[in-house]
Amino acid sequence: MCTHWLPLLAAALVLAGCRGADGPGAAAPPQPSRSRPGSDLVVATSARVGSVDPVRASTFGATQLLSALGDPLYRLGDDGSVQPALAADVPRVSSDGLTVTIPLRRDVLFHDGTRFDADAMVFSLERFLAIGTLSYLLDERIEAVRASGSHELELRLRRPTTVLPQLLSTINLTPVSPKAYRDHSDRALSDRFVGTGPYRLSFFSDQQQRLEPFERYWGERPRNAGIVLVSLGNSTALFGAMGSGEVDVLLSTGLHEDHQQALERRAEQGDLREGQGPALEIGYITLHTQQPPFRDPALRQALAHSLDRQLISERVSQGLRSPLRDLVPPAVSGTTRQIWPAYSPDTARKLFRQAGYCDGTVLELPLTFRSNIPSDRLMVLTWQAQLARDLGDCIVLQPNGMESTTVYRQLGEGAFAAVMLDWRGAVRDPEAYLFPLLSCSEAEGEHCLRGESALSGSFWTAPGLQEELLRSEALAGAERLALLQRIEERTAAAAPYLPLWLVTPRAWAQPGLATPRFDGNGRLLLQDLQRLP
Amino acid sequence: MSRRRALARYLAARLALVPVMLWLIASLVFLLLRVAPGDPVDAVLGTRAPEATRAALRSQLGLDQPLPQQYGQFLVDLLRGDLGESLNSQEPVGRIIGQSLPASMELGLTALLLAALLGLAVGFSGIARPEGKLDLSGRLYGIGTYALPPFWAAMVVQLIFAVWLGWLPVGGRFPPTLLPPQGSGFYLLDSLQSGLRSGQWQQLGGTIRHLLLPAGTLALLLSGIFTNALRLNLRRALGSDYVEAARSRGLGEARVVLRHALPNALLPVLTITGITVASLIGGALLIEVTYSWPGIAARLQEAIAQRDYPLVQGIVVVVAALVVLVTVVVDLLVALLDPRIRF
């Protein structure tokens, strides 16, 4: 009789025998700390990395990886302050503001042992300008680069700009070894990376990357023995892997709100350690201002007053996404100004009435959302219910889900009366939030025909607005910030966009590890992760 | 005409159709991708790049050429065996497929083997007492597992065995703390080979542990097909004249079932196996997505989302070619094994 149980027993022994190679140690419900002392730390995200080449890296996963493998010229502190990294000092700007000289560090080696110098920086910048997918970020500002000394870089600008250090903190501009990339000066090298960062890449696949500390790194050495970045395809898998102890650190990107909430609760109970980065991503609604019904500014204002951000934030994200009434995130502007109208159903009703609605006439508003983004769907459904409760006799929301690729494609064609989107500035500066939404190169009155405003789907501009935006580029300091604030106030008054919420990057570590920290660009500092004694 | 010559003619006719089918599939994919909304330039540059940058990339990718010219170039490259480069990573499409396809095939073949063993065992178990409890359970099992929604089943299995019990990994194909074995891309074989060479078996253990949940789930979902197919065909075979004749000759029931009824009942199962293999070559998307399995289906889904034209086209053409090949091989096997088949 007992022979019937032999296969089962054998299977159990195989399972038991195999365990311990990489997995959790007990069959009991997940226990908080099962990290492997002395071994690499496993960091999980949902992001797959298609290419590790700085000229191709544009996704969150790729730039997160690059930030540990390479160094930018300047680094942003978590308060947004600019600190030299590969640059030896702050940039020197000529009197006409068009020539910038940057002294470079002399003690830096690439991972292949070759020396970093101005020629290597010129090679990398020119390569990025030639084949970089995001080269337009640099191309519209920088006319030419050259080595003015063995360790001195000279940039010739197209127009004066005050955000150059922030721009040069972009990790895509990290230098690569000219020797290693000799055969790839005009094409991407997707599965290898030879840079100057604290880690070198020892294994790469789109789902897993292994990082080993670079022994000859010029700066502070990593506080761990190495990092393994893994990508798990869905939120449940990520959450489960953290719970079972398969991963040491989990990033919030790609995690559903309820999973984030559960992790936050565990952190509050001391079962996990939670770190937060600067909130640089905004969620907002774009209104097409050149088509009925939103050609009428009063109606846009009515909609702005009807938005109960607090309720939506609570229902959609249980408060994880902070309500936002500015276009520029507080982490960027340094202050919470709240210049968009606050929630006021009475004011909204008054404005709807002025526009001819409410008394027997109901505005049917199609609101497009990206169907592949769960929080968008929840937001739209919540707002629909909130409007039905507060202003059901004035407005009815008609949700219209669409795959994000199609939304982006049709946005600039004016296909949507109202659409839910998000944005994260390329650099940590107000300009990076205002220019991409407001800049307009050709306009008729308040109708933007060509430019960023049209591409963003609002088609809104105002007399003199573009001139003010351009003037801000030539200013610096408080005067520039004051002008950008006035521009934001004009935008709030016209309400072509309705800011909704802020997305804060989070990371959770097992309790045996130090609390995760982020840099000023919202990326996890992998080199800071460490096991506690 | 002799049977052998007829078989050769049949095979030649089937093989001659292969290029035509592949051309049709490749053309359809080419056309559908161009008709679908979305632009690969957007996927690479984002929507905010200046028009000049967009135009330069469009020209570099050959997307500024008239559609017939793009189509002609696509066919010429295909005939040369050049599947092009991924728009996003600039890696050769052939290499990307070479990395993803073994993962899907390993998962699919393991699942198929487990499904066949499990399904056939369940299907066979009730044959002694038709309409008995065991037979009824087998029928319910067959219908139940076939009807399970794959995504839901995968999530539940993942939740129980990986998250709650912590017995097996949540996802991925290999333990992150180990280096994957080098070789054919079939980790089971590669890690077995490596283990035999070095005497270290962590890689094999890790591979098996990561394979168990996705393959087990897929096997569970597929096994019902085998159960039902065997049950029905075996019952039909047991009621046939040649089985009655065998019984009347005084042969034992076990011999009647195993030597006479079973081989005939397994012929339709072979066809079903062929169809299942063909569908699994393209990957089991929902299983791959749930278990973060880096297979060809997950890769295809990603490529479609990114409008990576060369990668989508390459994957579809290669998978279609394999499916056609498997179908031809299965047809041939059935023709060889079943003397009733005429060509």
- Which pLDDT value is given to residue A287? 96
Q: What is the secondary structure of A42-103 as a DSSP string?
A: EEEES---S---TTT--SHHHHHHHHHH---SEEE-TTS-EEESSBSSPPEE-TTS-EEEEE
Q: Do A232 and B172 touch (CB under 8 A)?
A: yes
**Among candidates B45, B99, B168 on the partner chain, residue whose Cβ is nearest the Cβ of A133:** B45
Q: Do B177 and A207 touch (CB under 8 A)?
A: no
- Looking at the domain covering A5-252+507-528, what would its CATH class be? alpha beta
Distance in angstroms (rounded) separating the CA atoms of residues A403 and A446? 30
What one-character DSSP code corresponds to residue B306? T
Q: Give, for A250, the enclosing helix (H) or strand (E).
A: strand A249-251
Give the pLDDT band (50/70/90) at residue A36: very low
Q: Do B292 and A232 touch (CB under 8 A)?
A: yes
Cβ–Cβ contact A310 with B under 8 A: no
Give the pLDDT band (50/70/90) at residue A403: confident
Give the pLDDT band (50/70/90) at residue B38: low
- Which pLDDT value is given to residue A140? 78
- Which pLDDT value is given to residue A124? 96
Nearest CA in chain A to B304: A405
State yes or no: ipTM above 0.85. no
- Which pLDDT value is given to residue A229? 94
Q: Phi/psi of residue A315, each to 5°? A: -75, -35
* Residues A307-310: contacts with CB under 8 Å, at least 24 apart: A307/A343, A307/A383, A307/A498, A307/A500, A308/A343, A308/A383, A308/A386, A308/A390, A309/A343, A309/A500, A309/A501, A310/A343
Cβ–Cβ contact A291 with B under 8 A: no
Q: Is the pLDDT of residue B279 over 80?
A: no
Q: Is the pLDDT of residue A393 over 50?
A: yes
Q: Is the pLDDT of residue B142 over 70?
A: yes
Mean pLDDT value across chain A: 88
Alpha helices of A447-476 — where are they, by DSSP H?
452-455, 465-474
Neighbours of B281 (CB within 10 A): 22
Report which of residues A124 and A134 the model is more confident about. Answer: A124
Nearest CA in chain B to A425: B48
Instruction: Give chain A's radius of gyration (CA, Å).
Output: 26
Give the pLDDT band (50/70/90) at residue B282: low
B173 contact residues in A (CB cutoff 8 A): 207
**Among candidates B50, B176, B289 on the partner chain, residue whose Cβ is nearest the Cβ of A233:** B289
- Give the pLDDT confidence of B229-274 residue by residue, as tens digits: 888 888 888 888 888 888 888 888 788 888 888 888 887 888 888 8
Distance in angstroms (rounded) separating the CA atoms of residues A308 and B111? 50
Percent of chain A with pLDDT over 90: 66
Mean pLDDT of B286-293: 88
Q: Is the pLDDT of residue A3 over 50?
A: no
Report the range out of A367-371, A474-478, B118-122 with the highest average pLDDT.
Answer: A367-371
Q: Do A234 and B307 touch (CB under 8 A)?
A: no
Q: How far apart are the first and last CA of chain A?
A: 52
Looking at the DSSP assignment, which residues form a beta bridge with residue A368? Answer: A400, A419
Tokens of B191: 């890690």
- Domain positions in chain A are 5-252+507-528, 281-503
Q: Is the pLDDT of residue B43 over 90?
A: no
Cα distances (angstroms) measured from residue B135 to each of A160, B117, B122, B127: 82, 17, 9, 7
Percent of chain A with pLDDT over 70: 93
Report which of residues B298 and A123 the model is more confident about. Answer: A123
Give the pLDDT band (50/70/90) at residue A52: very high
- Which pLDDT value is given to residue B1? 59
Give the total residue count for chain A.
533
Report the range out of A425-439, A490-504, B158-172, B280-294 with the highest average pLDDT.
Answer: A490-504
A455 contact residues in B (CB cutoff 8 A): 47-48
List of residues 6+ apart from A54 with CB closer than 8 A: A66, A70, A124, A128, A132, A171, A172, A173, A174, A176, A195
Tokens of A142: 């920088």
Distance in angstroms (rounded) separating the CA atoms of residues A492 and B69? 49
- Which pLDDT value is given to residue B278? 73
The answer to which of A9-13, A125-129, B111-115 has the lowest mean pLDDT is A9-13
Nearest CA in chain B to A38: B177
What one-character DSSP code corresponds to residue B159? I
List of residues 6+ apart from B10 with CB closer than 8 A: B335, B343
- Count how many pairs of residues, chain A against chain B, have C-beta atoms within 8 Å: 167
Write the single-letter amino acid at A340.
W
Nearest CA in chain A to B99: A205
Distance in angstroms (rounded) separating the CA atoms of residues A454 and A437? 8
List of residues 6+ apart from A64 with CB closer than 8 A: A45, A47, A229, A251, A523, A524
- Which pLDDT value is given to residue B147? 85
Distance in angstroms (rounded) separating the CA atoms of residues B222 and B231? 15
Q: Is the pLDDT of residue A16 over 80?
A: no
Report the range out of A29-38, A391-400, B244-253 with the highest average pLDDT.
Answer: A391-400
Mean pLDDT of B13-35: 85
Evaluated on CA atoms A82, A86, A90, A96, the torsion sign reads negative
Q: Do B206 and A21 touch (CB under 8 A)?
A: yes
Give the pLDDT band (50/70/90) at residue A1: very low
Best B58, B86, B89 residue to mutate vs chain A (most A CBs within 10 Å): B89
- Which pLDDT value is given to residue A454? 93
Number of H helices, E strands in chain B: 15, 0
Closest CA to A483 of A376, A333, A365: A333
Q: Do B159 and A56 touch (CB under 8 A)?
A: no
Report which of residues B223 and B179 the model is more confident about. Answer: B223
B159 contact residues in A (CB cutoff 8 A): 236, 240
A400, A410 Cβ separation under 8 angstroms: no
- Cα angle A505, A409, B36; round to 5: 115
A297, A495 Cβ separation under 8 angstroms: yes
- Which pLDDT value is given to residue A7? 44
Q: Is the pLDDT of residue B60 over 90?
A: no
B165 contact residues in A (CB cutoff 8 A): 27
Q: Given the structure tokens 């889900």, which residue do they identify? A: A401
- Which pLDDT value is given to residue B47? 66
Cβ–Cβ contact A187 with B under 8 A: yes
Longest dimension (CA), chain B: 87
A360: left (phi over 0), alpha (psi -120 to 50) or beta: left
Question: Would you state the CATH architecture of domain A281-503?
Answer: Roll (3.10)
- Cα angle A343, A348, A353; round to 5: 175
Q: Do A452 and B45 touch (CB under 8 A)?
A: no
Give the total residue count for chain B.
343
Closest CA to A421 of A490, A388, A433: A433
The whole-angstrom distance between A342's CA and the closest CA on chain B is 30
A506, A252 Cβ separation under 8 angstroms: yes
Residue A22: helix, strand or coil by DSSP?
coil
Give the pLDDT band (50/70/90) at residue B320: confident
The whole-angstrom distance between A214's CA and the closest CA on chain B is 19
- Give the pLDDT confidence of A212-229 residue by residue, as tens digits: 999 999 999 999 999 999
Mean pLDDT of B214-243: 87
Distance in angstroms (rounded) separating the CA atoms of residues B227 and B215? 18
Distance from the Cα of residue A118 to its chain's centroid: 30
Give the pLDDT band (50/70/90) at residue A18: very low
Mean pLDDT of B212-237: 88
